[in-house]
Amino acid sequence: MIRFGLIGTSEISEKMAQALHQCPKTTPRAIYSRSAQKATEFAQKHRIPCPCSTLEQLAEEVDAVYIASPNSLHCEQAVFFLERRIPVLCEKPLASNLKEVNRMIDTAERNDTYLAEAYKSQWMPAYAAMKENLSSLGRIRHVRFDFCKYSSRYDSHRRGEDVNTFKAEFSNGALLDLGVYCLYPALDLFGAPKSVTSSGILVPGGVDGLGCTVMTYDDFIVTMNYSKVSSANRQCEIQGELGTMTIDAISTPKLVEITLNSGEYKAYSPYTEENDMVYECEAFADALERGASVDGVSFRRAFEIMDRVREIVGIHYPADEK
């Protein structure tokens, strides 16, 4: 049983606490918040034995840690635990930029400690169906992955209220918060592109409200649309010369449909746990059991692209200067 510590008391941490209870190999042992009162309230609500108000306290209680703090804090907090040989499961995005990612990877490798990103989609049953049936489409020609979801906090931001969700100092925005859900599947399924182009719209606060990135390969393109200031209702697609695959949601795939030019139709809708974060908990526990090492190649490839996109669009974070 892997005893987890959680950093952050947001809604995503609540869902993770429930998933850790549900996964047979894990249990939530401790919760950290700078506010001792918040830590205590969270611990009582989610049956967690140890509320902590310092990272040092948390490190003494756990076998692994889940980080769900603001993006700009991911690197420093991850390094703190990796230096203590405590494995880290860090929410997306892993860090603010490639420089921070390199530091995190180097620290994990130097201490022979596992580092993973809490990208749940790749472990969900429907994602496996995507990969297994990709070859039935023939030569791939066009891929369109969208994740556009109107932020519940954008109205407050427009009114001039102090909203962390749209602040460059916290290294957030549409690309890092939502675009990663499009980027990682593309890189996993198709590898590194030959070239990357992008455009985006900045909102007050210095972050991108929406963007469109196109990755070009030898004989096909991948188009990624992501937005926190508008919502999309259409499915994602992988178009091949023999047919088309549609995915209900690239961030949380549950239904995969294939329509071939011949008229043949197939649908895959495997059972999916209501709390789909269970899959990443299981994958992380399995990785620790087999002694897996950090996937530095995938992380670096993704952040090379995201740094390039930010350069093109003009998205600058204070973390870039550290």
Each domain of the chain, given as residue ranges in start order, spans 2-118, 124-276
User: What is the SS3 assignment for 23?
Assistant: coil
- pLDDT tens, 28-69? 999 999 999 999 999 999 999 999 999 999 999 999 999 999
**For residue 322, what pLDDT is reported?**
83
**For residue 313, what pLDDT is reported?**
98
State the helix-helix crossing angle for 98-110 and 74-82, rounded to 10 degrees: 10
- pLDDT tens, 250-268? 999 999 999 999 999 999 9
Count the Cβ atoms, other than its own, within 10 Å of residue 175: 27
Angstrom distance (rounded) from CA 275 to CA 285: 17
Read off the amino acid at residue 79: V
**For residue 162, what pLDDT is reported?**
84
Burial class (CB in 10 A: 0-12, 13-18, 19+), 205: middle
Total residue count of the chain as it appears in this document: 322
Count the Cβ atoms, other than its own, within 10 Å of residue 65: 28
Sign for the CA dihedral angle at 277, 278, 279, 281 comes to: positive
2-118 against 124-276: fold identical: no
Span 2-118 CATH architecture? 3-Layer(aba) Sandwich (3.40)
Cα distances from 21 to residues 24, 51, 258, in angstroms, run 8, 16, 35
Residues of the chain with pLDDT under 70: none
- pLDDT tens, 16-25? 999 999 999 9
Cβ-contact 66, 76 below 8 angstroms:
no
Which residue has 């066009």 as its token pair? Answer: 142
Taking the domain 124-276, which CATH number applies?
A: 3.30.360.10
